Amino acid sequence: MEDSIDEVNHMAEQSILLEAKNIVKDYGQGRVLDDVSLQIHKGEVIVLIGPSGCGKSTFLRCMNGLEQIQSGQIVLDGEVITEGKTDWPSVRQKIGMVFQNYELFPHKTVLDNVILGPVKVQGRDKKEVTKEAEKLLERVGLLEKKDAFPRQLSGGQKQRVAIVRALILKPEILLFDEVTAALDPEMVREVLDVILELAAEGYTMLIVTHEMQFAKAVADKIVFIDGGKIVESDTPEKFFTQPKTDRARRFLNTFIYEKETGGEKL
């Protein structure tokens, strides 16, 4: 009997790709993440939302070691990566990340930006990688820009290149840190469309965003964070229509605008 329960547990664990266990992160005096735990299964798209400074970006950055955690565990593919000396470079090849400010390398062309990782980090053949890079660039509609420098691209184009740059390393999971926050409104769509496509292809993703409509469309699960804690997590259908907590309700209300009904109360 016990055996079979163990087996069931084991099965469930197997499909967990990345797990954060009781993550605590302090910045000086303040506690930014307070005992945050989250499981991300293979193929799952989780969207983290919450007010500015709630710790959602920090949580993302802890997952690939850009921020050090004070306590807790991060488990990737069933292996605890935060015990002993972590080989972050190899972990990070499995955990891709796209940043708010693109952070393309300004001294390299679009193509060189994309192939630098696979060639230098993974030691792959440059010709082969170039072919692959061109295919990916074509997919996001930027093949004709391959010899351009980042400064010659629009924000939306830069961000699409940044996504390709992360994709070409064939990561097991992608982290998106407010990737449309620095974009002009008309460019938001082209970037979000790429992410929606990746979701449809079954990529595992952890996304921090302020685009609620997008969150609703892309997420399998919404995780609402406030004050460094997970306040609520649910399916987007439930979260956006009937949030369980008062805090989430108030947060969602800040996105609703109603026309002033005139005169009486202000």
Instruction: Enumerate binding residues for other proteins (CB under 8 A).
Output: 64, 66, 88-90, 92-93, 96-97, 99, 101-107, 116-117, 120-122, 149-151, 158, 162, 165-166, 169
Instruction: For the CB of residue 17, give the shortest distance to other proteins in the complex, in Å.
Output: 17
C-beta of 111 vs 222, nearer to other proteins:
111
CB 98 → other proteins: shortest distance, Å? 9
Here the tokens at position 159 are: 């961000």
3-class secondary structure, 17: strand
Q: Nearer to other proteins by C-beta: 105 or 255?
A: 105
Quickly list DSSP for 147-173: TS-GGGS-HHHHHHHHHHHHHTT--SE
Longest dimension (CA), the chain: 71
Which residue, 60 or 225, is less far from other proteins as judged by CB?
Answer: 60
Which residues, 6 or more positions from 63, have their beta carbon under 8 angstroms from its beta carbon?
A: 18, 20, 74, 95, 175, 206
Smallest gap from residue 178 Cβ to other proteins (A): 13
How is the chain split among helix, strand and coil, in percent rounded to 5? 40, 25, 35
β-bridge mates for residue 63, sequence order: none
- Do residues 138 and 111 lie in contact, with contact meaning Cβ atoms separated by under 8 Å? no
Minimum CB separation from other proteins for residue 233, in Å?
25
CB of 212 to other proteins, least distance (A): 26
Task: Tell me which amino acid residue 135 is.
Answer: K
- CA dihedral 155→159→89→105, nearest 10 degrees, is -40
Min separation Cβ 22 and other proteins, Å = 24
